[in-house]
Amino acid sequence: MTAAPDITRPPRLRRFAADFVRSPIAVVGLVIFVTLCIMAALAPLISPQNPYDMMTLNLMDSRLRPGEVGSAGYVHLLGTDDQGRDIWSAIVYGLRISLGVGLGAGGIAAVIGTSVGIFAAFRGGMVETVLMRLVDFQLSFPAILVALIMLAVLGPGVDKVIFALVIAQWAYFARTARSAALVESRRDYIAGAHSLGLGQWRIIFGHLLPNSVPAVMVIAAIQVANAILLEATLSFLGMGLPVTEPSLGMVISNGFQHILSGRYWMTIYPGIALVLLVLSLNLIGDRLRELLDPRKVL
Amino acid sequence: MTALVELSGIGRRFTRKLDVAAKILNLLGGSYREQVVHAVDGVDLSISAGEVLALVGESGCGKSTLGRIVAGILPSSSGTMSFRGRDVAALAGTDRLAWVRSIQMVFQDPMTSLNPRKSVFEAISEAPVYHRIFSRAEAPAKVARLLSNVGLDPQFANRMPHELSGGQRQRVAIAQALAVKPEVLVCDEATSALDVSIQAQILNMFLELKEEFGLTYLFISHNLGAVRHVADRVVIMYLGQVVEVAPADDLFATPHHPYTRALLLEAPRLERRRRFEPIRGEIPSPLDPPSGCYFHPRCPMATDRCRTERPILRETGGDRVAACHYAEMVSPPDALAPSSEAPEPGHMKPGRAPLSAEAPRSE
Ligand SMILES: Nc1ncnc2c1ncn2[C@@H]1O[C@H](COP(=O)(O)OP(=O)(O)O)[C@@H](O)[C@H]1O
Ligand code: SF4
Ligand SMILES: [Mg+2]
């Protein structure tokens, strides 16, 4: 405990990064995720057509196999669908929407859930009991059911899907943030902050929140993956996004009608993209959990 | 002397609530009760301005709980506490804030006493800037000054807690407390997690700071020997209750409670060979304290009276109180000890001379 201070120790973040990359599988996950993000960001640059601009579609090109050349003169790497839409382009644009909805919903759920959880831990008493009962109640239903009910009530639309996903997921963040904040609030520096006369908002935002964020980050990666999957499921069921915002789930759903006629590419390739996206987030999340596990001796 | 802090009948209970399983079993005829611990039980105490009051007792006797109540971190569940003659329960707004700031606490565990995400500079300057004790512009100079007060180089301002040793963290924690200009410092085993050599340095620093800042101390320790050099008065606690209060010199020379005497015999002393005479018996569970005198199962002087009649805290002469039926008959600690040594100059009077001349920065 009284060892000489190790001044040469690198800052937390760099040490954390160094620890992270020691797991090859997590690095693979990170590389896949970053690649998919870049693809989504650069969608117009790396896809030969805008698959939802009806002007660029040509029915002549419909149901081309992967590798065939279409009427516009370029190769359809992953084939086309029944409307002549380039599958590769549909995947890249679909990624964009799936990622946007997943990150958006996960991010909003994280902010709301974390605030509720930390506030509950800080206030204790009735406030905590009521909020956590609400969380327990919510968590007793499967997220997909909550989302389906919300959408049945709200109707379709990107904002409504995000809203439904936030409603389905905030409670996970609230529970995690509360237990992390409870652990922190028992530490002496929090008692010290009270004793120094700092106000409650200062203690919550300046002390409890920054120290509870690591625990929230762990589930954030997994919950973003879950949000993407939920959205894909909803779209597949035809309950999600409008046709004008085709996510991966909808691309898969469109292609699914043709799988029995042997046109596997319309659904397998977008399926692979979805699996890679969700898997990479889970790999990252697992590694974060390993590194940030409170029981781990730092 | 004026009483700065006055406690009267202060108690603190902790209730262990029943879990769902126990509640269900109770419905089926089980008999699980909520467990109540009286961590602090009816404590009367006054802390005078400028004194060093030591609070000593075995681990689990309620010292930290009492210290936290004094520091205003933990509410008491019974009794009243006043600060400068005003009941703190009646304080509100800026008066309350002034009281809270006036009493600062230095915690035992240097690993958790600082926010891991704030630099030393942020840790020390946050509260005083928040309270406008000094401005953000003045902060660098003020922080540097506070750091040198606690024996650290001003360059430490840029460090993060994980870059500091245990002793350095405790110094930063003290600087953080001093920054809001407190009158009372509650030091809860503030040195016991540290290396022995560093303990002495930090103790010396407490004494120097006392002079410089005009501080009053509540000095908590489980080791009676460790407070010998610093305390003006000593309070001995056992199972949440005060069993003896006396000026330090008197208490070390002639304890008025068998428990104090046992602590004196147990206290490891650097200057003589460790002659261990542990207090016999287990510490009773505070969930289910013994009848009569709480100390009777372990007391060598216990009689039938002790097993049934609870001794009250009573005056035993010379500014002293003790809770023992036979306080006047307790023998001095050296009466049994054949190898008693000549009193060394440093330990009888809490002389303010440093314990060692070592520079505090070398840890
Ligand atoms: N937050 C708490 N909840 C339940 N019991 C507690 C709590 N804090 C302290 N106690 C109990 O109160 C008693 C006194 O604890 P403490 O004040 O920490 O003693 P000390 O500092 O003398 O070791 C112990 O029995 C302890 O288990
Ligand atoms: S009252 Fe009896 S048991 Fe209690 S300390 Fe005194 S002699 Fe021992
Ligand atoms: Mg303690």
The pair phi, psi for residue B307, each rounded to 5°, is: -75, -20
Taking an 8 Å cut-off on Cβ atoms, the answer to whether A197 and B180 are in contact is yes
pLDDT at B278: 57
B269 band by pLDDT with thresholds 50, 70 and 90: low
Q: Is pLDDT of B246 > 60?
A: yes
pLDDT at B345: 41
pLDDT at A64: 67
Q: How many Cβ atoms are within 10 Å of A64's Cβ, its own excluded?
A: 22
Name the residue with the closest Cα to ligand 1, atom 14: B62
Across B302-311, average pLDDT: 93
Q: Quick one: closest CA in A to B96, which residue?
A: A197
Contacts of B164 in chain A (CB under 8 A): 5
Across B117-145, average pLDDT: 94
* pLDDT tens digits for range B32-66: 777 888 999 999 999 999 999 999 999 989 999 99
pLDDT at B349: 39
B344 band by pLDDT with thresholds 50, 70 and 90: very low
Q: Tell me, what DSSP letter sits at residue B88?
A: G
Q: What is the CATH number of domain A16-297?
A: 1.10.3720.10
pLDDT at B10: 96
**What is the complex's ipTM, to 2 decimals?**
0.82
Higher pLDDT, B274 or B348: B274
Question: Taking a contact as any Cβ pair under 8 Å apart, which residues of chain A between 178 and 197 contact chain B?
Answer: 187-189, 191-197
Residue labelled with tokens 């009372």: B184
pLDDT at B334: 72
pLDDT at B355: 39
Taking an 8 Å cut-off on Cβ atoms, the answer to whether B105 and A187 are in contact is no
B23 band by pLDDT with thresholds 50, 70 and 90: confident
Q: Is pLDDT of B354 > 50?
A: no
B134 band by pLDDT with thresholds 50, 70 and 90: very high
Q: Tell me, what DSSP letter sits at residue A61?
A: G
Taking an 8 Å cut-off on Cβ atoms, the answer to whether A197 and B130 are in contact is yes
Q: Which two tokens stand for residue A161?
A: 């899907």
pLDDT at B350: 39
Among candidate residues A103, A57, A94, the one with its CA nearest the CA of residue A241:
A94
Q: Which helix (H) or strand (E) holds B5?
A: strand B3-16
pLDDT at A87: 80
Q: So where are chain A's domains?
A: 16-297
Domains annotated on chain B, with CATH: 3-231 (3.40.50.300), 261-335 (no CATH)
Q: How many Cβ atoms are within 10 Å of B251's Cβ, its own excluded?
A: 29
pLDDT at B356: 40
Among candidate residues B156, B164, B148, B270, the one with its CA nearest the CA of residue B212:
B148
Q: Closest ligand 2 atom to the C-alpha of B299? A: 8
Interface of B with A (CB under 8 A): 68, 71-73, 97, 100-101, 103-105, 107-117, 126-127, 130-131, 160, 162-168, 173, 176-177, 180, 193-195, 198, 363
The pair phi, psi for residue A154, each rounded to 5°, is: -85, -30
pLDDT at A12: 67
Give CA–CA dist B161/B116, Å, rounded: 6
Is the beta carbon of B258 within 6 A of some atom in ligand 2?
A: yes
Residue among B108, B115, B193 minimizing CB distance to A189: B115
Share of chain B above pLDDT 70, in %: 88
Question: Quick one: B73 exposed, middle or buried, by C-beta within 10 A (0-12, 13-18, 19+)?
Answer: buried
Mean pLDDT of chain B: 86
pLDDT at B174: 95
DSSP string, B195-212: -HHHHHHHHHHHHHHHHH
First to last CA, chain A: 13
- Nearest-CA distance from A208 to chain B in Å? 9
pLDDT at B197: 83
Higher pLDDT, B99 or B19: B99
Is the beta carbon of B54 within 6 A of some atom in ligand 1?
A: no
* pLDDT tens digits for range B168-189: 999 999 999 999 999 999 999 9
Give CA–CA dist B191/B354, Å, rounded: 16
pLDDT at B268: 59
pLDDT-flagged residues of chain A (< 70): 1-12, 58, 61, 64, 67-68, 70, 76-77, 293-298
Across B237-255, average pLDDT: 94
Among candidate residues A99, A103, A21, A33, the one with its CA nearest the CA of residue A288:
A21
Is the beta carbon of B59 within 6 A of some atom in ligand 1?
A: yes
